[in-house]
Amino acid sequence: MDASNLPWNASPTASPELRIINADDFEAWYASLVDAFGGVPEAPEEAALWQELTELDRSIGAFDAKTVVGSAGAFSFGLAVPGGAETAERPLVPAAGVTMVGVRSTHRRRGLLSAMMRSQLDDVRGRGEPVAVLTASEPAIYGRFGYGLASLRVSVTMDRHRVRIADPGLGRELRLSQADPVESLAVCEELYARVGPTRAGWLRRPAGWEKVAVLDPSSDRDGHSPLFCVLVEDPVTGGLGGYARYAVKPSWDRSGPNGSVRVRELYAASPEATAALWRYLLDVDLTDTVTSAGRPVDDALLSLVDDPRRCGPVVGDGIYLRPVEVGAALGARGYYRPVDLVLEVEDAFCPWNTGRWRLSADGKGAVCERTTDPADLALTVRELGAAYLGGVTLRSLATAGRVRELRAGALAAASAAFATDLAPWLPRGF
């Protein structure tokens, strides 16, 4: 990104100034971000890791004289999209992971956030990334920039004394063992990278990001133990079949122990490995509850338990997605059924996407190109982002008045084509 080309909506001598930060700016830039998110300092090891992972050439700072008053950054990811696991012929879709966005309250309502989003999306387009994704601390902010809610997640709090895990009935004995979270990281990451891309929403991250998975500063534990890790062996290959990382919070009252297990991450390559890990977690001594945040909404857990009501499932928002280049984005994913339709897209913030696009897809691939043919559906880029991963249907968006059918039958055909057999899921935030 060329800092000299960053736009601002005031005179050349006005303040603040937007520019790409350098290494000397990082400490002040990151301190401003921490302030914007409540001002609680992070553990030194956590701050050091984020400094290592931050891509300076994608990090915008807003400077009022020498004071940093705003920030916006992005990471370079590969996004799994509907259509099956990654292959040499069908790689993951390049995606910008939008992050570290904040404006000091002293400089609100001056167009600063819009200017940073404008610069960032221009840069994303210039890098050839068809989509941008984010997780939102305040979702209402990002709709006006074209981001749509593309996946949901479910959190559970299980009464371990009243929930039982069913046996998948495959008749294979599994061996579980405890391992050091850091020492077992490499083998766990291999399974994570192998299984993850089969579900849309998974992100491939640059080298170094694996450290986030086991980052465990004592200041963030809230009374929990350091991380534990349990591994389950694949009964066929003898390799790793799954893993779970978790922490235990001891607690006692007059009736005895009532501690809790907090599941940080659980990944498995088979139904029996999934069941074995959850059964293990529900059997941790001296505890009453098992909690896990941010599971996929179609998680196998809710089909394995004998009483899902005792899991207290709570649905929340997951990943937000924006097509940056509509044609490239729609042409990069697979479709559940063949489809041929024309989309009338409105995009006020990135006007290069506005207009009619013909999407043609079959089992061999997809093409999305500009056309002057009559439109079948009308929608904004925000709805297109919401439907992109298949977790939100075009039909449901139409019932909310956010998609208009212009040709009879087009909505049903399009909604079925955009669907996916597994709900999209972002297993690790950023």
Beta strands in 135-233 (DSSP E): 148-149, 152-159, 176-179, 203-204, 228-233
Instruction: Name the token pair of 145.
Output: 């920039």
Cβ atoms 59, 100 nearer than 8 A: yes
Residue whose C-alpha is closest to residue 274's, from 399, 360, 170: 170
Which structure tokens are listed for 412?
A: 């049903």
Helix (H) or strand (E) holding 366: strand 365-370
- The alpha carbon dihedral of 411, 416, 418, 423 has a sign of positive
Task: Report which of 281, 280, 246 is spatially closest to residue 262, judged by C-alpha positions.
Answer: 246
418 tagged catalytic: no
Other C-beta atoms lying within 10 Å of the C-beta of residue 12: 6
Q: At what angle do helices 26-36 and 44-53 cross, to 10 degrees?
A: 120
Residue 37 annotated as catalytic = no
**What distance in Å separates the CA atoms of residue 13 and residue 162, rounded to the nearest whole number?**
66
Beta bridge partners of 359: 341, 368
Question: Which among 77, 142, 145, 267 is annotated as catalytic?
Answer: 142
Q: Are 273 and 133 in contact (CB under 8 A)?
A: no
Burial (0-12, 13-18, 19+ Cβ within 10 Å), 222: exposed
Q: Is 100 left (phi over 0), alpha (psi -120 to 50) or beta?
A: left
Active-site annotation, residues? 142, 430
